[in-house]
Amino acid sequence: MTSYKELGLVNTREMFKKAVAGGYAIPAFNFNTLEQMQAIVQAAVETKSPVIMQVSKGARNYANGTILRYMAQGAVEYAKELGCENPQIVLHLDHGDSFELCKDCIDNGFSSVMFDGSSLPYEENIRITKQVVEYAHAHDVTVEAELGVLAGVEDEVQAEKSHYTKPEEVIDFATRSGCDSLAISIGTSHGAYKFTPEQCTRDPKTGRLVPPPLAFDILHEIEKKLPGFPIVLHGSSSVPQEEVDTINAHGGKLPDAVGIPEEQLREASKSAVCKINIDSDSRLAMTAAIRKHFDEKPGDFDPRQYLKPARENMKKMYIHKIVEVLGSNNKL
């Protein structure tokens, strides 16, 4: 048993309270490589932002749970080395799909876990979420639950169609499950292809796809039912078109990739939405830099030669999100 407190990590409780009161959101960046971790920590330290480093089941299988735990501990120590006296770093399990997986993470240094029972029948979702909450709270770990289904693909999480969260269910769900925060479905979606071209309109000037707007009416109804309760948005990458263009210009093939416009995420950050999940944008930033490098310097074969610009490009993206979209800078 390794407590996250021994690793210098924090849970989300105080972080979310301040974010809801302050009208900003905490960035939740997925990671599974050294370069992503370094870029996340550098960006958080430079902008003085709290940060959630999150790991999906797929990332845990890819990188190994023990290694990721020590990377999170390394992130805290690295932040201090970079001059941050009191880093606020959470190690979070993204989309836990069973009590056993959540328990295993809690026993191995995670400070926050998500149990995603959104595909289960309502009562079953409450029952297992509550079981996770009881175990987690006994170890001062916070729990994110999910109600409503997001469309798209994220590692093993997959759904054909989204089902918006029903505002009339949130009070009952949050009260009976005891969760600390709630992921809701209001039109965000996993992956780099969040919407089909048929769901979008086209900007006549640029020819780019414009996705349908998020359901802010549902968000506001949920806020009214659960005032001040921390709300989470998954699948909130913006799929920056300049990165997609770079990838496509250097041998890639990502036709019609489309994300959530940043101005909508900016608006959501000011509400009870206090955690915004960003994964695809980091993948795109990394891939764009590497493709460009290989195209321009075909003789390079030292991984540091192409991973360094990849790390720089991810860091630039993380800083942009923190400062220009979520507003979590200068909050340490």
- Catalytic annotation, residues: 94
Choices 8-16, 164-172, 234-242, 283-291; region in contact with Zn ion by CB under 5 A: 234-242
Residue 211 is classified by DSSP as P
The residue (of 54 and 313) whose beta carbon lies closer to Zn ion is 54
CB of 95 to Zn ion, least distance (A): 6
Choices 83-91, 141-149, 231-239, 260-268; region in contact with Zn ion by CB under 5 A: 231-239
The residue (of 234 and 292) whose beta carbon lies closer to Zn ion is 234
CB 279 within 8 A of CB 30: yes
Residue 322 is classified by DSSP as I
CB of 161 to Zn ion, least distance (A): 16
Residue position matching structure tokens 């959470």: 90
Residue 234 binding Zn ion, by CB under 5 A: yes
Q: In sequence order, what are the residues at sequence separation of 6 or more whose Cβ sits closer than 8 angstroms to the Cβ of residue 310? A: 35, 285, 286, 289, 290, 293
CB of 36 to Zn ion, least distance (A): 17
Choices 126-134, 205-213, 227-235, 249-257; region in contact with Zn ion by CB under 5 A: 227-235
The residue (of 194 and 315) whose beta carbon lies closer to Zn ion is 194
Using a 10 angstrom Cβ sphere, with 0-12 exposed, 13-18 middle and 19 or more buried, the burial of residue 263 is: exposed
- CA 277 to chain CA centroid, Å, is 2
**Radius of gyration for the chain, computed over Cα atoms and rounded to the nearest angstrom:** 19
Residue 194 binding Zn ion, by CB under 5 A: no
Cβ count near 29 (within 10 Å)? 25
| 113 membership: H or E segment, kind and range | strand 112-115
CB of 154 to Zn ion, least distance (A): 5
The residue (of 234 and 293) whose beta carbon lies closer to Zn ion is 234
CB of 128 to Zn ion, least distance (A): 17
The residue (of 109 and 191) whose beta carbon lies closer to Zn ion is 191
CB of 260 to Zn ion, least distance (A): 13
Cβ-proximal residue to Zn ion, closest one: 234
- Three-state DSSP at 84 gives coil
Report the alpha-carbon distance of residue 249 to residue 324 in Å, rounded: 27
The residue (of 34 and 149) whose beta carbon lies closer to Zn ion is 149
Choices 101-109, 230-238, 265-273, 316-324; region in contact with Zn ion by CB under 5 A: 230-238
Nearest CA-CA partner of 236 in 15, 14, 30, 6: 30
Nearest CA-CA partner of 95 in 37, 140, 172, 159: 159
Report the alpha-carbon distance of residue 296 to residue 284 in Å, rounded: 18
Q: Give the E-state strand segments of 36-110 in sequence order.
A: 51-56, 89-96
Residue ranges in contact with Zn ion by CB under 5 A: 234
